[in-house]
Structure 1
């Protein structure tokens, strides 16, 4: 099998044009429709706020979810902040409890989902994929964070490309006892959502959220730990991401980058990062629970390790 393609022969770079949908046969059209349906489902209903489910018939990631993250809709708003200007934004969202269980201990973040459709302006902004659903790399990175909280103790933490929830960064902020945390995304809609989410969670450390595009960063601000989930599939943005990592990572810091192999995209990131001067350690088996779930999926007809299994890359300067 061509490892640059998925189970039906699609190129694995996570982009399908309408021409491709017309061109391919029935099975390939079916997969393409599923991919488009993730976006279409978000657009159709102004009341649609449910997180995409691993069993959702429209979701191409239903096999690639590793069932590590549980969602529960909350009947009431979790926290009402003192600032009155935030209350309207909070009430415009449906609230969910996102929880992860590690060694019988539950970790959770309250996450708001906007009760409206996406506008054309939203969708044409900087990468909107993080506004649609929680992807497996973010799921597994969040699980890795909750399984290794000691790595964040008294550290400054930055999350890049965190999407509408910035889950990995917020789990680190809430449970890892870090010195400070900054969560970011290049899409303002995602950042606005996270800023409201911050008001409905309790943190014992400083947590900031801001728009950060990888070609525009504060090189003077350094971080001990950087988190990054599924940000490698944009070929045109990869060089900017690597420059951003280099500028923001402290000399003795470490970045945890989680992404599937997805054709050559992960290897291209490794080679370009090492060309920049980074030391990259590729870790397929970074957690026994995640690894066992992967092994259970290997013989599933819809599962493709190349595009579904997130691999951990530890990135350091020395």
Structure 2
């Protein structure tokens, strides 16, 4: 399947009414919960076995599904298998894809499993599930950026925060960079189950591990030289925890690459709050010529909105 095609169509066989989920008044925490339920409801309204669906709210209308940097192709049955036989059952519950991109004349490809869509009540009420729903443009552009700059990961300890169901940028670094180690994380256990199975179906020359990590877990304070973070500024209520997590895990000479669209004031609020605790933040709008040309080509598209569709790179440091 080519990411140029918009596969996020909703053909419902369910009776879930998204408007019913979001129309009730309440405090801010309830509003956040309703937004997350609305996102999941759209996913549930997609036909079983379809591509992951996409969230829609006042700051995240995903009419532009891709910057055409990634191509995905479903892999034939039996062409990929886990190295750990104990994961065979989990492996068979997924449809497998090759995620590939061309950087100059070099091709980069990784295998990613898409969990066949089933959601339990526990899944729906769990930690933010947006990472289980789709590959976001910020993940796509961050992955393209890291594949263009693999030297920055040489002999570095790399951490990905909020990587969702694929931890795609970290997966490319682990496969094609020469890092000392890579740790892939997300706060949602369903996402990390998918990542763990995915790791067993790719080959690495460095230690790669995955773990469930909620950003307010103060017991996780291990320094990492480079931190990757794609589209993690979506919910205002999680911003302080993300900044605190970055502070605990980024050494004085480290670098965090945070990729996200402006999306209202969410990106600028992140920068302001980060600077208040001592971070240096460098906002880079044009960070790659190819991505920039894709943006310019989309400006005439009536459905393209720079504020919610174009990912911006923030370099975060302590020194």
Instruction: Using structure 2 for the length normalisation, give the TM-score.
Output: 0.84
Q: After TM superposition, give the deviation of residue 306 of structure 1 in Å.
A: 0.6
Alignment of 1:94-109 (within 5 A): 94-109=95-110
1:38 CA drift (Å) = 6.6
Label 1:245 to 1:78 Cα distance change in 2 as closer, same or farther (>3 A): farther
Q: Which runs of no fewer than 5 residues in structure 1 stay unpaired? A: 1-16, 24-34, 54-58
Aligned residues of 1:45 and 1:116 also touching (Cα < 8 A): no
Distance 1:178 1:112 in 2: 23
* Cα distance change on mapping 1:22 and 1:83 into 2, 3 Å: closer
Q: Which residue does the alignment assign to 2:197? A: 196
SS in 2 for 1:290: helix
Match of 1:210 in 2: 211
The offset of 1:62, in angstroms, is: 4.0
Provide, for residues 30-62 of structure 1, a one-character-per-residue CA deviation record: whole Å limited to 9, x for no partner: xxxxx9997445324674143559xxxxx9524
User: What does residue range 149-168 of structure 1 map to in structure 2 within 5 Å?
Assistant: 149-168=150-169
| Number of matched pairs | 286
Instruction: Give the match for residue 171 of structure 1.
Output: 172
Q: CA–CA distance in 2 between the matches of 1:291 and 1:138?
A: 16
Matched with 2:243 is 242
Secondary structure of 1:237's aligned partner: helix
SS in 2 for 1:240: helix
Whether the 8 Å CA contact 1:158–1:183 is kept in 2: the answer is yes
Matched, 1:255 2:256: yes
Written as runs of structure 1 = structure 2, the 5 A alignment for 1:51-130 is 51=52, 60-130=61-131
In 2, the alpha carbon distance for the partners of 1:152 and 1:77 equals 33
CA-CA distance at 1:138 after TM superposition? 0.6
Distance in 1 of aligned mates of 2:39 and 2:61: 8
The CA deviation at 1:135 is: 0.6
Please identify, of 115-124 and 98-107, the stretch whose mean Cα deviation from structure 2 is larger.
Answer: 115-124
Stretch of structure 1 that moved more, 39-48 or 202-211: 39-48
SS of the residue 1:311 aligns to: strand
Q: 3-state SS of the aligned residue for 1:250?
A: coil
Per-residue deviation, residues 251-298 of structure 1 (Å, max 9, x unmatched)? 100000000011111110000000010000000000000000101111
Structure 2, unaligned runs of 5 or more: 1-17, 25-35, 55-59
Deviates more, 1:35-44 or 1:257-266: 35-44
Which of structures 1 and 2 has the larger relative contact order (alpha carbons within 8 angstroms, sep 6+)? 1
**What residue number does 1:18 align with?**
19
> C-alpha separation between the residues in 2 aligned to 1:41 and 1:95?
22
- TM-score of the two chains, using structure 1 as the length reference: 0.84
Greater shift in the superposed pair: 213-222 or 175-184: 213-222
| 2-structure distance, mates of 1:68, 1:258 | 15
3-state SS of 1:130 partner = helix
The alignment partner of 1:197 has SS state of helix
Contact 1:263 1:307 (C-alpha < 8 Å) held by counterparts = yes
Q: Tell me, yes or no, if the aligned pair for 2:70 and 2:99 is still in contact at 8 Å.
A: yes
Q: Distance in 2 between matches of 1:245 and 1:20?
A: 33
Q: Is residue 225–residue 249 contact of structure 1 (8 Å, CA) maintained in 2?
A: yes
